[in-house]
Structure 1
Amino acid sequence: MFSSSKLKAIDFYRKIPRDLTEASLSGAGLSIIAAFAMVFLFGMELNSYLSVATSTTVVVDRSKNGEHLRIDFNVSFPNLSCEFLSVDVHDVLGTVRQNLTRTVRKYPIDSNMNRVGQDVHVGHLPTIRNHGDHHGDEELAEGVGEGAVELGVDNFDTYAHEFPILLVNFYAGWCSWSQRLKPSWEKAAQIIHERYHPDDDGRIMLGKVDCAEARNQLLCRSHHIQGYPSIRVFRKGQDVRDAQGRHDHDSYYGERDTDSLVAFAETLVPVPTGAGTLALEDKSENNSTVKRSAPKSGGCRVEGFAMVKKVPGSIIIAARSTSHSFDAAKTNMSHYVQSFSFGRKLSYTLAKEVYRVYPLLDGVEETLTGHMYTSPHENITFDHYLQAVKTEVISLKSSKDFKLLEEYNFVAHSAELQTADVPVAKFQYELSPMQVLVSETPKSFSHFITNVCAIIGGVFTVAGIIDSMLHSAIRMVKKVELGKQY
C-alpha cells in the first residue's frame, strides 16, 4: 500500500499556500478577459461540432450495369400535328424504340401554344397492308378513269355542303403512296357514283384535292393536312366530330384497296328517315382498324418520360408514318422547351435536403428550359447535344429516402441544320463517366473534447504569460521610481 506522502509526491499540480500569493487588479482584469475568451471560443467550437461537414469528390460513375435512366420532357410544336408526331429513342448499343405511347401524352395546341383539347390517344398508326389493288400495275392505273370529283379552293365548300357525306382524298402528286392509292380510289369513286348517283340518290360523294398545287395549299393547311394521302370524312360540310369532349377530324386509316374503300364508304351512307330527311348513322364506329380521329389543331404538345440505358443516345421527335409521305419543305419543327430533365423527379422535401447538403445545385437553370427554337426557313432540323453529369448526395438523415439522392445537371449545345429529308427535333445525350459525390461527415466527439481542452488550457496559459509580463513590468517600474527617490 502506498502511503499518502508517496501519493503526494506524484502530484502534477503542487499548491502554493494562499498566504504566499498576491492578488492584483491587472490579474483580475486579465482573468475576466480570459474567461470571456474561453466562453466565446467554446461556443464557436460547439457550433462547429454541431454543424455537419461536407466533402466533395469526383469519382467514376458507380451506376450498375444495365441500369436505366429516366428522361422527362415537355416540348410544344405549334406547327406539327399530334396525328403523326412520334417520339423515338435510339442509343449506341442498337436500341431502337419508335413512337413511345405508354409513357408519353400528346395535347393539341393552337399557334400560341395554348391547349385546345384533351390529350390525344392516337397510339400507333394502323399498319396498312393493301396500298392498292395491284401494286406496280401501271396499265391498270392508266386504264382507270377519273371517278372522284376534282376539288379545289373554288368548289370545295359547295360540294361539302351539297352532299350529306363527302369522302375526300387529300394527296400530293409527287407522293408515292398517293400514286399507289390513286387507281383504287378512282375505281371506288366510280362504284359509289354508280350505286349512289347524284341525280338519283346523292347521299355520298368521293372527291380529291391535290395539295401540291399552289392554289390548294391554303385549303389543305386549314384542314391540318400534314401527311399524304389523308382521307377525311365530311358530314354536311364539317369534318370535325365531338367524341367524348374531343373535337377531332374524322379520318380513315384503313386498307387502301378498292373493296375496303367501298365497304368503308357504304358504312357512312346516311339512312333515309322519311319526309326527305337523312340520319347520319356511323356504322363503322366499332371498327377501330379502319378509322380513328385526327387532332383538330395543327400543333401538339408532347410530355412524358422515356427510360433509357446509361449510354450515349438520342430522343427524336418527328413526323412518322409507314404509309404517308411528308413534304419536307412544309414540315416546320419549331418548338418551345417547357422542361427537359434527367433522373427521377425529387419531391420538394427531398430537393430541399439536396440543396441543404450541396447549395451549389440550388438555382441552377438548365440551358434548354424556357427557350423557343424557331425555324428561320424551310427544311430545318434542330439538333440539341446534351452533356449530363450526375451528382450523388449522401445525407445523414435517418430516413431511408434521404440516404442517397441523385441529381443530374447538363449543358446543352443547339444547332440548326438544313437537310433534304423531313426535318426532326433531336435531343442527343451523353452521360459523363465521372460523377460528383457529396457526402456529410460528422465530427468526432473526442476531437471536440480535445479542442475544448486546448481552448481552456491555451487561453489560461496565454493569460498567465501576459499576467506575468504585466506584473514584472509593474514591479520594475516601481523599483525605478524607488531608486529615483533615494
Structure 2
Amino acid sequence: MDNVMSKIRSLDTYPKINEDFYSRTLSGGVITLASSIVMFLLFISELRLYLYTVTETQLLVDTSRGETLRINFDVTFPALPCSILSLDAMDISGEQHLDVKHDIVKKRLDTHGNVIEERQDGIGAPKIEKPLQRHGGRLEHNETYCGSCYGAEVSDDDCCNSCDEVRELYRKKGWALSNPDSIDQCKREGFLQRIKDEEGEGCNIYGFLEVNKVAGNFHFAPGQSFHQSGVHVHDLLVFQKDSFNVSHKINKLAFGGYFPGVVNPLDRVQWTQETPSGMYQYFLKVVPTVYTDVRGHTIQSNQFSVTEHFRSAEVGLLQSLPGVFFFYDLSPIKVTFAEEHISFLHFLTNVCAIVGGVFTVSGILDSFIYHGQRAIKKKMEIGKFS
C-alpha cells in the first residue's frame, strides 16, 4: 500500500512553495509597504490619463477649394495718425481690396498711448452745409445734393457727395489728389485740417479681413492707394512729408479662430524704426489646421511661421513705399488635432501591467534581501562554533 502511494506522489507535477516563503520579515513588510505606495501613485497617474483627454495629431493633404481666409489683426502705430493710415489687401487671383474701411476700427492715440477717440473707419464725417452742386451753384432748400467729381465721374449721372467719394473715383482713375483744398467736399469736411490736427498722434487699428484662401498680402501704409501703369502706389503728395515712421507693435495677428494650444508668433511683437524711411516686411507661411474637441466640435483655423525683413529705401521713389507689409502663402499640408479619451480596455490593461510589474519587481527584491540575510546569518553561526 505504501509503495502504491509513493508512486502516486511521484506523479505530482505541481511543485509546492518552499516553506521559506511563508516567513514574515521586517524587510518584507517594508518592501510590501513601498510597493503598495508605488502601485497607488502609478494607478492615480493612469486614472488621470484615462479621465483627461489626449490629442492625436495627423498630417493630411489640404484638398479644400473655394474657401475664404479670415485674418484677425490688432496693430498699433505710435507715430502714424489715423487720418493718413490705410489698409489694402490683394491676392494672386487678382482680387484687390484697397483702402479697406468695413470691419475696421481705428483709435486715435496721444503721445503717451492714451485713447483720444475711437470710431469705425469711414463713419463720422462732418456734415456739409450748403455744399457746391455739380452745376456750380450752392445747394438750395428744394434741391437734392449732387456734388461734382471734378472730372473723375464715369457718367453724367455720377455724384460725389463727400471727400471720400471724390478720392475713391480719383483712385479708380489712377489720379493723385495733390491739393484737397481745391475739392469743395474735402475743404468743407476739413480733410487737410484733420490731418494737421492729428499730427504727432498715433493710431491703433484693429478688425478683420475676409480674403480668398490663396497666397496674397495685406499692408498698412500712409496715403490712399491706387494703381498707376499697373503699379500699386499710394498718394503721399497731400501730406507734404519727406518720411514716415512705420514703427509698430502687433498686439494680435491670427489667421482664423483660436483653438487650445495655438501659438501665434507675432503676438506682442514690437519694432522701432531707426532710419528715415523704409518698408517693413513679414513673410508668413500659413498652415491650415483643424481642431476637434472631445465633444466633436470642430474649429477651422490656421497656424503660421514667419520671417522678417526691413527694406530701407530712398525717399521719393514709388518703389520705396513706406509701410508694414504681410506676405502670406498657404501650405498644401493640413494639420488635424483630435481630442480623444483613452478606452476603458486600454486603461484596464495598463492597470494590470502596473500591478503585475510592481509585484514582480518587489518579489525579486524581497527574495534577494531574504536569502542574503540567511546566508550572512549562517556564516555568522559557523564562525561562532568554529
Q: Find the aligned partners of 2:85 and 2:369 in 1 and give their Cα distance.
A: 88
Alignment of 1:413-452 (within 5 A): 413-418=308-313, 420-421=317-318, 423-425=321-323, 426-452=325-351
Task: Measure how far apart 1:394 and its partner are.
Answer: 3.7
Task: Measure how far apart 1:97 and its partner are.
Answer: 1.3
Task: Measure how far apart 1:455 and its partner are.
Answer: 3.6
- Opposite residue 382 of structure 1, the aligned amino acid is Y
1:105 aligned to 2:105? yes
The residue number in structure 1 matching 2:306 is 411
Q: Find the aligned partners of 1:478 and 1:460 in 2 and give their Cα distance.
A: 27
Contact in 2 for aligned 1:122/1:293 (Cα 8 Å): no
1:314 aligned to 2:264? no
Q: Find the aligned partners of 1:83 and 1:38 in 2 and give their Cα distance.
A: 72
Q: Find the aligned partners of 2:113 and 2:376 in 1 and give their Cα distance.
A: 90
Contact in 2 for aligned 1:49/1:443 (Cα 8 Å): no
Task: Measure how far apart 1:105 and its partner are.
Answer: 2.4
Where 2:117 maps in the other structure, the secondary structure is coil
- Opposite residue 41 of structure 2, the aligned amino acid is G
Contact in 1 for aligned 2:46/2:350 (Cα 8 Å): no
Q: Find the aligned partners of 1:411 and 1:370 in 2 and give their Cα distance.
A: 14
| Structure 1 counterpart of 2:282, from 360, 365, 384 | 384
| Structure 2 counterpart of 1:130, from 128, 136, 150 | 150
1:326 aligned to 2:236? yes
User: In the superposition, relative to structure 1, how do residues 63 and 473 fare at CA in structure 2: closer, same or farther (>3 Å)?
Assistant: same
Task: Measure how far apart 1:90 and its partner are.
Answer: 0.5
The alignment yields a C-alpha RMSD, in angstroms, of 4.6
Alignment of 1:286-305 (within 5 A): 291-294=188-191, 295=194, 296-298=197-199, 299=201, 301=203, 302-305=205-208
Q: Find the aligned partners of 1:322 and 1:455 in 2 and give their Cα distance.
A: 70
Task: Measure how far apart 1:478 and its partner are.
Answer: 6.9
Contact in 2 for aligned 1:34/1:463 (Cα 8 Å): yes
Task: Measure how far apart 1:386 and its partner are.
Answer: 2.8
Task: Measure how far apart 1:472 and its partner are.
Answer: 5.6
The residue number in structure 2 matching 1:241 is none
User: In the superposition, relative to structure 1, how do residues 127 and 373 fare at CA in structure 2: closer, same or farther (>3 Å)?
Assistant: farther
Deviations 1:157-179 (A, max 9, x none): xxxxxxxxxxxxxxxxxxx99xx
Contact in 2 for aligned 1:38/1:456 (Cα 8 Å): no
Contact in 1 for aligned 2:56/2:340 (Cα 8 Å): no
Task: Measure how far apart 1:99 and its partner are.
Answer: 1.7
Give % identity. 22
Alignment of 1:54-69 (within 5 A): 54=54, 57=57, 59-60=59-60, 62=62, 64-69=64-69
Task: Measure how far apart 1:120 and its partner are.
Answer: 6.3
Task: Measure how far apart 1:95 and its partner are.
Answer: 1.1
The residue number in structure 2 matching 1:337 is 249
Task: Measure how far apart 1:73 and its partner are.
Answer: 2.5
Q: How many residues align?
A: 311
Task: Measure how far apart 1:229 and its partner are.
Answer: 0.7
Q: Find the aligned partners of 1:122 and 1:466 in 2 and give their Cα distance.
A: 80
Q: Find the aligned partners of 1:22 and 1:387 in 2 and give their Cα distance.
A: 67
Q: Find the aligned partners of 1:479 and 1:107 in 2 and give their Cα distance.
A: 90
Alignment of 1:152-301 (within 5 A): 228-231=178-181, 252-253=184-185, 291-294=188-191, 295=194, 296-298=197-199, 299=201, 301=203
Deviations 1:191-212 (A, max 9, x none): xxxxxxxxxxxxxxxxxxxxxx
Contact in 1 for aligned 2:217/2:327 (Cα 8 Å): yes
Where 1:370 maps in the other structure, the secondary structure is strand
User: In the superposition, relative to structure 1, how do residues 73 and 122 fare at CA in structure 2: closer, same or farther (>3 Å)?
Assistant: same
- Opposite residue 415 of structure 1, the aligned amino acid is F
Q: Find the aligned partners of 1:452 and 1:120 in 2 and give their Cα distance.
A: 60
Q: Report the more deviating stretch, 326-335 or 33-42.
A: 326-335
**Gap runs ≥5 in structure 1:** 1-12, 133-175, 178-225, 233-250, 255-289
Q: Find the aligned partners of 2:383 and 2:248 in 1 and give their Cα distance.
A: 95
The residue number in structure 1 matching 2:28 is 30
- Opposite residue 66 of structure 2, the aligned amino acid is G
Task: Measure how far apart 1:418 and its partner are.
Answer: 1.4
Where 1:41 maps in the other structure, the secondary structure is helix
Deviations 1:281-317 (A, max 9, x none): xxxxxxxxx9535333135623221112222211133
Q: Find the aligned partners of 1:90 and 1:394 in 2 and give their Cα distance.
A: 31
Task: Measure how far apart 1:439 and its partner are.
Answer: 3.7
- Opposite residue 198 of structure 2, the aligned amino acid is S
Q: Find the aligned partners of 2:322 and 2:360 in 1 and give their Cα distance.
A: 76
Contact in 1 for aligned 2:281/2:309 (Cα 8 Å): yes
Q: Find the aligned partners of 1:303 and 1:101 in 2 and give their Cα distance.
A: 11
- TM-score by length of structure 1 reads 0.51
User: In the superposition, relative to structure 1, how do residues 447 and 316 fare at CA in structure 2: closer, same or farther (>3 Å)?
Assistant: closer
Where 2:217 maps in the other structure, the secondary structure is strand
Contact in 1 for aligned 2:255/2:303 (Cα 8 Å): yes
Q: Find the aligned partners of 1:476 and 1:44 in 2 and give their Cα distance.
A: 34
